[in-house]
């Protein structure tokens, strides 16, 4: 569809503003299918939701709410091409604010931010006609806009004895800084209450070495700005042979990332594409579909947590579930087995509202010749960086969440103190965030 047709379609779309609740309430023989589909949606059962709505549509239900719900079910299964086709067809069949909002939402949820922005721009030209669809448009706007947050840490010197020392007693804090080398993340910091501090670098990680002033608590304030980005359209196809020697060690096994494991090799063989970009997308799709997130006791009992939902790649791929670092272990192993350098990123998520406690999180970073290192969280569309989560702080090559927890052989020695800074010092309530309104 060219831009002129799309503009004309949107102009016509605002002639009707219809409530999906009213549309779905129409009584006909297919209503039972629609009702069942909505119950499946409430359970997050996207496969059943898709099947039931597909049956309803085949039987003649093509009203706006049904088609928009169908696109939503497809998107949640990463059937992005079909979801976009359905959303556009819905806008043609049912011109109205809700179907336009559905197109915006479908593009954004599929990771196509460029087209999402185009449709939202056209929609804003008719903002006075959004009507009951306004919350959908506002949600799309929020998803696409640049956001800035103030992240605050309160460091208590009495917690220093909780951080295991690898070679000497810990007399200062090793506070990781948000990455400064990402095209979509900018940050600055301020410190008060410390005797002294200095910025240091270890490999590709930056951190603050903070020395306490006696028992006085220290306030660390970070300001982070995140911009939603999608790198897929600008990425050039490449093969494993295009990977530079400097990062090739990260296609090999490291502790608990068992690239040579039979199961890792078997699964990765089914995901090999015609080029490395296809292979990466296949790993992302497989992981999104087959790896389930499950939480354990967390910091309350790290050893049990490691056994139940952590562990190395082979263990996670066998049981098909894990916490965030467990899932990431599986993703990293599959990417490496396909010749894609990959590693772990530790940082914060939980940035969902205007303020709250930060949550710890781990996700994947992989290498491409076009952009260098790119990050990806398991719940995001391929090659996208939404701004709702993932303020990255430090990189590492092997999981820490393995049993016996925290013993030699887990994680990387050079990020040991950074890891324990997060898991043992930065408890909820000591790490908070507030959105900065600009």
Q: Domains (ranges, CATH) in the chain?
A: 3-144 (1.25.40.10), 147-226 (2.60.40), 232-414 (3.10.620.30)
Q: Reading across the β-sheet that carries 185-192, which strands appear in turn?
A: 185-192, 218-226, 147-155, 431-436, 355-357
Output the pLDDT for position 164: 62
Longest dimension (CA), the chain: 74
Instruction: Give the span between the Cα atoms of 146 and 387, in whole angstroms.
Output: 8
Given a cut of 50, the residues of the chain with pLDDT beneath it are 1-25
Instruction: Give the span between the Cα atoms of 436 and 228, in whole angstroms.
Output: 16
| Torsional sign, CA 268, 370, 385, 182 | positive
Query: Could you please report the per-residue DSSP string of 306-322?
Result: HHHH---HHHHHHHTEE
Output the pLDDT for position 9: 34
Q: CB–CB of 230/384 below 8 Å?
A: yes
Output the pLDDT for position 64: 96
How many residues would you count in the chain? 438
Instruction: Give the span between the Cα atoms of 303 and 406, in whole angstroms.
Output: 9
**Strand 173-176 relative to strand 185-192: parallel, antiparallel, unpaired?**
unpaired
Residue with tokens 């272990």: 329
Output the pLDDT for position 311: 85
Output the pLDDT for position 17: 32
Q: CB–CB of 418/393 below 8 Å?
A: yes
Q: In Å, how far are 51, 95, 254 from 399, measured between CA atoms?
A: 38, 50, 9
Instruction: Give the span between the Cα atoms of 261 and 259, in whole angstroms.
Output: 6
First CA to last CA distance, the chain? 35
Tokens standing for residue 276:
């490395």
Q: What is the pLDDT of residues 135-187, one digit of tens each?
A: 999 999 988 988 888 888 888 888 887 666 555 667 888 888 888 888 888 88
Q: CB–CB of 343/396 below 8 Å?
A: yes
pTM, two decimal places: 0.86
Q: What is the pLDDT of residues 52-108, one digit of tens each?
A: 999 999 999 999 999 999 999 999 999 999 999 999 999 999 999 999 999 999 999
Output the pLDDT for position 388: 56
């Amino acid at each position: 569809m060219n831009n002129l047709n799309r503009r004309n379609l949107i102009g016509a779309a605002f002639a009707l503003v219809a409530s999906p609740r009213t549309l779905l309430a129409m009584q006909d023989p297919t209503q039972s299918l629609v009702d069942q589909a909505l119950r499946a949606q409430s359970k997050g059962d996207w496969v059943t939701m898709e099947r039931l709505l597909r049956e309803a549509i085949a039987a003649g239900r093509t009203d706006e709410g049904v088609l928009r719900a169908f696109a939503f079910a497809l998107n949640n299964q990463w059937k992005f091409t079909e979801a976009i086709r359905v959303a556009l067809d819905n806008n043609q069949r049912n011109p109205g604010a809700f179907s336009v909002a559905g197109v915006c939402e479908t593009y954004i949820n599929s990771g196509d931010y460029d087209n999402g922005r185009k449709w939202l721009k056209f929609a804003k030209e008719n903002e006075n006609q959004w009507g009951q669809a306004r919350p959908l448009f506002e949600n799309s706007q929020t998803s696409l806009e640049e956001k800035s947050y103030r992240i605050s840490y309160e460091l208590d010197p009495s917690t220093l004895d909780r951080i295991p020392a690898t070679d000497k007693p810990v007399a200062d804090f090793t506070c990781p800084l948000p990455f400064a080398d990402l095209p979509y993340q900018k940050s600055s910091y301020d410190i008060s209450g410390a005797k002294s501090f200095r910025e240091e670098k270890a490999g590709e990680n930056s951190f603050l070495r903070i020395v306490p002033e006696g028992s006085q608590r220290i306030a660390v304030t970070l300001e982070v700005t995140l911009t939603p980005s999608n790198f897929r359209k600008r990425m050039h196809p490449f093969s494993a042979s295009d990977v530079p020697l400097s990062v090739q060690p990260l296609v090999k096994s490291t502790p608990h990332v068992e690239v040579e494991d039979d199961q890792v090799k078997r699964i990765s063989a089914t995901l090999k594409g015609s080029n490395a970009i296809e292979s990466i997308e296949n790993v992302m799709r497989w992981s999104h579909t087959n790896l389930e997130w499950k939480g354990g006791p967390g910091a309350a009992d790290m050893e049990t947590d490691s056994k139940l939902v952590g562990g190395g790649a082979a263990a996670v791929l066998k049981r098909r579930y894990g916490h965030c670092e467990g899932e990431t272990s599986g993703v990293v192993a599959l990417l490496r087995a396909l010749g894609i350098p990959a590693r772990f990123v530790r940082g914060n998520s939980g940035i969902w509202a205007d303020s709250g406690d930060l949550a710890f999180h781990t996700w994947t970073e992989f290498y491409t010749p076009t952009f260098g290192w790119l990050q990806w969280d398991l719940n995001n569309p391929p090659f996208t960086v939404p701004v709702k989560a993932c303020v990255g702080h430090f990189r590492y090559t092997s999981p820490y969440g393995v049993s016996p927890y925290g013993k030699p052989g887990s994680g990387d020695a050079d990020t040991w103190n950074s890891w324990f800074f997060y898991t043992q010092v930065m408890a909820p309530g000591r790490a908070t965030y507030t959105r900065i309104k600009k």
